Structure 1
């Protein structure tokens, strides 16, 4: 048996032994899971529809500041053949009336960012397990609030970072665990997504809720899509830990330029002062001397790109090139080798079992895989596939990058949310104990 065959056999064995029953695609009938939805706008409305696809899920209650958004979500649930959920709407704190219900096992939170952590903390303290959209927190203090709430209540919280569940990223994880890239030393990732015309502002140039963050803050506002897979690739919080972060930002020119192009020089936003630099570059260093470059870039014209790159002692993976170079396994050291054959060979068991169904849903199937596993964990009263420590680690980059930029790019310490347990914690993402 050559090395490649050995690795193939090893991964197959791993699939059978370590990616066990808690994380398969079956729709279990052991119990009905009752989920309340908090925030039912674009993302929350979509998640309401996706959760309605799972037969073991009921949705007794939905909540949104806007009654029309909550009403649309209620109609989605009703059209799925379930009873129409009770609606909580019209007030910023209407969600508290949802949280006091005794017929909910969990809540899913998909509100503006600054509500994520406070709502998740209150939900855990109300006895509910939580799925919260990204980022889970917008300050280091909020990260610690989440950790304390989970520890004190015993109710777990999962940040819903869907890019951790992508087909390609999970295959790369399998390749790393099989040793194909050697010891990993460096990763790059990004949220590079031209959002000027539809995300923080609508098509007519009016503010949507993210606009206030761009006006007030200069930081990496949205680090988790890039960092999600990187944490598992580097065994962060389970063998290594981030130790420091340095961040720098460019000038803020992109949004003013966009408004001048689209609406003319007299539009208020053509001269409005935005604190947010157009590109933020953060460099994270781990205790074991590994580095991660995280880029935030949403205000300048460009195609979407997550810019993942993994560099190890035996080779490199590049998402941009959709290719690898692995010493002794691919061609000349100056040439890239297509990634697709490696994706097929090292496809994660989640995608082998759920991929066909997943591809019928959003974000290339990652949403389905993520929420299927979230529901399975609720049904089986099992740990979530992504734990809260990983969620707050990704989210802490928001507040830490702001601190570093404000201090002229000075390194800032990265909190150890494991309390020192990273030295003995074992990796769990993508596997279950044997």
Structure 2
């Protein structure tokens, strides 16, 4: 909407605490809140001009680290992509789908996120007038009392991973045997529409056989 550069200025401000992530990372909480977490406050180090010491910040992060980051964080840092956050989001989505769990984002989140651009445009077209944000839940937005991420049991996770590995292994073997990449290149490099159509048919048949082989491996 404007020339402002992209940023991730994640910031939470409350009456008893403050947290900043980018570009400067730091936390500041009152002594009672810090003590409640199991950390003994160092009064001399607490002021309105600085964040808490790094030692206490790291202790808080370790105490409240999300199970999602514990599961995917290390691999995410190796893979990269916006500091690993892209990988974590994709991995969490795939995890839920593979284990048959409710997604972290539902259709109401989708509607709300997609509405922002359109509502902003309406506001700009009307001299930046306030625009009412629709309640897509029709008054049921607070029906869910508290949010919890869904997780599979260790046994379910192990079974799901074994199935995924078996499927991937079988599909890779079929891809090599059926020379799917060669068929794909033939389709992409076809000189005429007729040749491309013929190559596409051959590729589709090959992919169907590879899928069948992979599905057979997990039955």
TM (norm. structure 1) is: 0.29
Which residue in 1 is equivalent to 2:14? 312
State the 1:414 CA deviation: 0.3
**Alignment deviations for residues 350-382 of structure 1 (CA, whole Å, 9 cap, x no partner):** 111222222222222222222222222222332
TM (norm. structure 2) is: 0.54
State the 1:432 CA deviation: 5.7
Which residue in 1 is equivalent to 2:133? 414
Which residue in 2 is equivalent to 1:334? 49
Tell me, yes or no, if the aligned pair for 1:318 and 1:324 is still in contact at 8 Å.
Answer: yes
**CA–CA distance in structure 1, aligned partners of residues 128 and 109 of structure 2:** 25
**CA–CA distance in structure 1, aligned partners of residues 122 and 148 of structure 2:** 30
Q: How many residues align?
A: 135
Which residue in 1 is equivalent to 2:94? 375
3-state SS, counterpart of residue 334 of structure 1:
coil
What root-mean-square deviation, in Å, do the aligned CA atoms of Structure 1 and Structure 2 show? 2.4
**Alignment deviations for residues 279-336 of structure 1 (CA, whole Å, 9 cap, x no partner):** xxxxxxxxxxxxxxxxxx23xxxxx531121111211111233111101136123322
Tell me, yes or no, if the aligned pair for 1:385 and 1:428 is still in contact at 8 Å.
Answer: no
Q: Which runs of 5+ in 2 are unaligned?
A: 35-40, 153-219
Which residue in 2 is equivalent to 1:345? 63
Which residue in 2 is equivalent to 1:387? 106
**CA–CA distance in structure 2, aligned partners of residues 327 and 334 of structure 1:** 13
State the 1:420 CA deviation: 1.0
Q: Which has the higher helix share?
A: 2
**Alignment deviations for residues 177-236 of structure 1 (CA, whole Å, 9 cap, x no partner):** xxxxxxxxxxxxxxxxxxxxxxxxxxxxxxxxxxxxxxxxxx4xxxxxxxxxxxxxxxxx
Which residue in 2 is equivalent to 1:85? none
Which residue in 2 is equivalent to 1:321? 24
Higher RCO, Cα 8 Å, sep 6+: 1
Change (3 A) 1:430 1:381: closer
State the 1:429 CA deviation: 5.5
**CA–CA distance in structure 1, aligned partners of residues 49 and 15 of structure 2:** 16
Tell me, yes or no, if the aligned pair for 2:102 and 2:150 is still in contact at 8 Å.
Answer: no
State the 1:402 CA deviation: 1.2
**CA–CA distance in structure 2, aligned partners of residues 396 and 429 of structure 1:** 25
Q: Which runs of 5+ in 1 are unaligned?
A: 1-218, 220-276, 279-296, 299-303
State the 1:345 CA deviation: 2.6
**CA–CA distance in structure 2, aligned partners of residues 391 and 380 of structure 1:** 22
**CA–CA distance in structure 2, aligned partners of residues 307 and 371 of structure 1:** 22
**CA–CA distance in structure 2, aligned partners of residues 405 and 342 of structure 1:** 42
**CA–CA distance in structure 1, aligned partners of residues 98 and 75 of structure 2:** 20
**CA–CA distance in structure 1, aligned partners of residues 123 and 142 of structure 2:** 27
State the 1:390 CA deviation: 1.7
Change (3 A) 1:418 1:310: same
Q: Which has the larger radius of gyration?
A: 2
3-state SS, counterpart of residue 356 of structure 1:
helix
